[in-house]
Amino acid sequence: MLPIVYVLSDSVGETGEFVVRAVASQFNGGHVDIRRVPYIDDHESIVEAFELAKEANAFIAYTLVLPNLRNFVKIKAEEYNIPAVDLLGDLMETFSNVHGKQPNYSPGSMRQLDADYFKRVEAIEFAVKYDDGKDPRGILRADVVLVGVSRTSKTPLSMYLAHKRLKVANVPIAPEVTPPEELFLVPSKKCIGLTINPDQLNEIRQERLKTLGLTRNANYAKFERILEELEYAEKIIKRIGCPTINVSNKAVEETAGIILDILKKGGKISG
């Protein structure tokens, strides 16, 4: 017969189940019957859990944050003569003693951290998928769309903003390529145009060619070509009607800060 453990939690009980399974793996090949009792926020739910544990000849493990609920479990454990293991209490107390601070006593905090983490991962995956105009369908799904000529920091900015949990698509502008129609369907307040000083762009592209082992005379880095691209990009950005940021001599973090301010003022993201 499998050992039975009731896991009591003020959230979904994932943390408690993980710990119990980790310990169970040291016994009987890890086979254990775990029964979660989630979202506990009152004494009645705890009493019901002890009644169930008594009938099943089980013991209890709990990850309750609020002190009054944890204390109530200890009282009921003595009353029912059922072992009850506090999986968080001792660790919280140690943190409190070491740091000289009281915990927030906020149920579900770990779940919120997990949600933030997965939202960040989703945003990063989005930025990679819709980088450099690979798929114009991402333009209408993005939180922000970056538009500009090659080497205006579109990709680094996309990744930086993705770590802020924003879904970013970026679209390169070149005279020979017709911009995707989605670019003119998306609300202008979701778009950011990027421009740069032609002299600085010339230097950046010359270095890029050197890195690739190509001749510095390639059309990509010719000054006339750069002026043509910047002029064309300016027309497209004006047609979109979106704000423009000159990224000349700006670090990615600085430009990203400006973008975040623009989005906040436009109501796209909260402070």
The answer to whether 155 is annotated as binding is: yes
pTM over 0.85: no
Residue 267 in this model has a pLDDT that exceeds 50 = no
Q: How many whole angstroms separate alpha carbon 20 and alpha carbon 37?
A: 14
Confirm whether residue 111 is marked as ligand binding. no
Fold entry, domain 4-107: Rossmann fold (3.40.50)
Average pLDDT estimate for 139-152: 97
The string of pLDDT tens digits covering residues 5-34 is 999 998 888 889 999 999 998 886 778 999
Residue 15 assigned as binding residue: no
264 is in an annotated binding site: no
Residue 27 or 125, more confident: 125
d(CA 36, CA 14): 9
Residue 244 marked in a binding site = no
CATH class of 121-265: alpha beta
The pairing of strands 59-63 and 84-86 is parallel
Report DSSP letters for 170-220, one per residue: EEE--TTSPPPGGGGTS-GGGEEEEE--HHHHHHHHHHHHHHHT--TTSGG
Residue 269 has pLDDT above 70, yes or no: no
84 strand-pairing partners = 60
Structure tokens at 57: 């000849």
Examine the pLDDT at 244 and tell me if it is beyond 90: yes
The answer to whether residue 67 scores a pLDDT higher than 80 is yes
Identical fold between 4-107 and 121-265: yes
The reply, when asked if residue 152 is annotated as ligand binding, is: yes
151 has binding-site annotation: yes
Residue 55 structure tokens: 């009938």
Interval 68-114: pLDDT, tens? 999 999 999 999 999 999 998 888 888 888 878 877 766 665 555 56
What are the residue ranges spanned by the domains of the chain? 4-107, 121-265
